Chains A and B, each alone.
Chain A
Amino acid sequence: MSELTLPAWAALPAAVLLLCAGFLTLVGSIGLLRMPSFYSRMHPVTMGTTLGAGCALIASMLVASALAGRPVIHELLITFCILITAPVSAMTLMRAAIHRGGRAGARAPVPQSQER
């Protein structure tokens, strides 16, 4: 693990991107654990899985390019896959939650004036 010799132009942005990715993903999962209802649990998870994964994939692309000495962009495959599939799965899950809302225990958000 320590025999990698990265040039500074790749190591510094990759380190910053990895720090951002770890922080965002951890915040997303803490939000998943602590938010009160399903509809509010969707938000932090989406942030963690798109922004955090994007930062980690760009950092991985930088490191692979610096190690190979040429542009290596095959991490873009995972990036496009996640970017295309994350909204689809989020929309399908949300429709399922609305469909099952009555018997699932997770209430739909009601306006402030009607809340008891």
Chain B
Amino acid sequence: MNSLFGVAAAFASICFIIAMLLALVRLFLGPSAQDRVLAFDTFYINGMLTLLMLGVRTGSGVYFDVALLIALFGFIGTTALAKFLLRGEVIGP
């Protein structure tokens, strides 16, 4: 049973890393700026999930805090970039 769980965790980690690589490709060759912002959004969520999988596989609780911080600051970054694309400034009047 534990070997099945280990295989599933390794599969999930590999899938998240491949998803990060695909998002990185879209980040570099996205034709417009909002494509790059969307790819960045996917990229940080997949990185957060990779860290979470690392925490699950090692049974350590340290990675959870890193994942929580990445989720919070990644949202702030995405929203700031989208507001900048929308109005040309991040914090408007």
Chain A residues with CB below 8 A from B32, complex form = 38, 97, 100, 104-106
Could you tell me the dominant secondary structure of chain A's interface residues? helix
Knowing A57-B52, A81-B68, A89-B78, say if A28 contacts B42 (CB, 8 Å). Answer: yes
Chain B residues with CB below 8 A from A82, complex form = 45, 71
Select A104's contact among B25, B33, B46, B82, beta carbons within 8 Å: B33
CA distance A77 to B65 in the complex (A): 10
Number of A interface residues, CB 8 Å?
Answer: 57
Chain A residues with CB below 8 A from B25, complex form = 33
With a 10 A CB-CB cut-off, give which of A12, A32, A33 has the most chain B CB atoms: A32
Q: How large is the interface on B (under 10, 10 to 19, 20 to 34, 35 or more residues)?
A: 35 or more
Chain B residues with CB below 8 A from A49, complex form = 41-42, 45
Interface residue? B22 (CB, 8 A) = yes
Q: Which 5 A-B pairs have the closest CB atoms?
A: A22-B15, A29-B19, A15-B8, A22-B12, A96-B85
Please give the residue numbers on chain A whose beta carbons come within 8 Å of chain B beta carbons, in ascending order.
Answer: 1-2, 4-6, 8, 11-12, 14-16, 18-19, 21-23, 25-26, 28-30, 32-33, 38, 41-42, 45, 48-49, 52-53, 56-57, 59-60, 63-64, 67, 74-75, 77-78, 81-82, 85, 88-89, 92-93, 95-97, 99-100, 104-106
Besides A11-B2, A19-B12, A85-B75, 7 new A-B residue pairs in contact (Cβ under 8 A), listed by A number:
A21-B49, A32-B22, A75-B64, A78-B48, A78-B52, A100-B85, A104-B33
